Amino acid sequence: MDNEVVIQTRNLSKVYRDFWGRKKVQALNSLSLEVNRGEVFGLLGPNGSGKTTTLKLLLGLLFPSEGEVSILGKPAVDVTKNQRIGYLPEESYLYRFLNAEETLDFYGRLFNMPAAERRERSRQLIERVGLQHARRRQLKEYSKGMTRRIGLAQALINDPDLILLDEPTSGLDPIGSRDMKDLIQKLKEEGKTVVMCSHLLADVQDVCDRIAILDRGELKVLGKVQDLLKDQGVTQIKTSRLSDDVVKELQAVLARHQAEVLEIDHPTASLEDLFVKTVRESAARPGQRHIPDSPEERPAPAPQPAAKT
Partner 1 sequence: MSHDPVPFQILPALLQWLAVVGIILAISAVTLTVTSLATSGATGPLMIFEQIGGGIHDWLSTAGRRVWALTMLTFREAFRRKTLLVFVVFAILFLFAGWFLADTSPDPSMQIKVLVTFVLRAISWLILPVVLLLSCWGLPEDIRARSLHTVVTKPVYRHEVILGRIFGFSIVGGLVLVTMSVAGYIWILRQVPESAKSRLVARVPVYGALTFKDREGNDAAAGVNTGDEWMFRSYIEGNTKGRAIWDFQHLDQQLPSGAEDLLLESSFQVFRTYKGNIEKGILAQYILVNTDKKIRAALPPFEVHEFRDNVLKVERNLTDEEGKPVDLFNDLIHDGKLRVEVRCLTAAQFLGVARPDLFVRLPDRSFAVSYFKGIFGVGLMMVMIVVLGVTASSFVKGPIATILTLFMLLVGRMARPFFDELTSAQHMGGGVLESIYRIVKHLNPQTPLEDTLPNNIMQWIDSAGLNVMWALKYLFPDFQSFNMSEYVANGFDVPWSAAMLPSIALTVAYVIPWIILAHFSLKLRELEAK
CB 198 within 8 A of CB 44: yes
- Please report whether residue 11 would count as binding partner 1 according to CB under 8 A: no
Nearer to partner 1 by C-beta: 60 or 130? 60
> Which CA distances in Å does 147 have to 135, 143, 164, 165, 278?
12, 6, 17, 14, 25
Out of 8, 25, 128, 185, which residue is the one contacting partner 1 (CB under 8 A)?
A: 25
Question: Three-class SS of residue 34?
Answer: strand
Cα–Cα distance between 193 and 100 in angstroms, integer?
26
Non-local (6+) Cβ contacts of 145 within 8 A are 171, 172, 173, 176
Burial 223-235 (b: 16+ CB within 10 A, else e): eebeeeeeeeeee
- Please report whether residue 106 would count as binding partner 1 according to CB under 8 A: yes
Nearer to partner 1 by C-beta: 192 or 210? 192
Nearer to partner 1 by C-beta: 109 or 280? 109
Question: Three-class SS of residue 35?
Answer: strand
What residues form DSSP beta bridges with 41? 195, 210
Nearer to partner 1 by C-beta: 139 or 180? 139
Query: Cβ 147 to partner 1, closest distance in Å?
Result: 12
Nearer to partner 1 by C-beta: 41 or 87? 87
Query: Cβ 253 to partner 1, closest distance in Å?
Result: 59
Nearer to partner 1 by C-beta: 56 or 210? 56
How many positions of this chain bind partner 1 (CB under 8 A)?
Answer: 33
Q: What mask, x for binding partner 1 by CB under 8 A, covers residues 136 to 155? A: ---------------x--x-
Nearer to partner 1 by C-beta: 112 or 239? 112
Instruction: Count CB atoms within 10 A of the CB of residue 160.
Output: 21
CB 148 within 8 A of CB 172: yes
CB 199 within 8 A of CB 170: no
Cα–Cα distance between 35 and 42 in angstroms, integer?
10
Q: What mask, x for binding partner 1 by CB under 8 A, covers residues 108 to 127? A: -xxxx---------------
Q: What mask, x for binding partner 1 by CB under 8 A, covers residues 65 to 104? A: --------------xx-xx-x-x-x-x-xxx-xx---x--
- Please report whether residue 20 would count as binding partner 1 according to CB under 8 A: no
Q: What mask, x for binding partner 1 by CB under 8 A, covers residues 46 to 65? A: ----------x--xxxxx--
Q: Is the dihedral of CA 86, 92, 97, 99 positive or negative?
A: positive
What residues form DSSP beta bridges with 9? 33, 69
Out of 1, 5, 11, 16, which residue is the one contacting partner 1 (CB under 8 A)?
A: 16
Nearer to partner 1 by C-beta: 85 or 219? 85
Question: Three-class SS of residue 104?
Answer: helix
Query: Cβ 97 to partner 1, closest distance in Å?
Result: 4
Query: Cβ 79 to partner 1, closest distance in Å?
Result: 6
Sheet holding 210-215, edge to edge: 85-88, 162-166, 193-198, 40-44, 210-215, 218-224
Q: Please report, as ranges, the residues that interact with partner 1 according to CB under 8 A.
A: 16, 24-25, 27, 56, 59-63, 79-80, 82-83, 85, 87, 89, 91, 93-95, 97-98, 102, 106-107, 109-112, 151, 154, 158
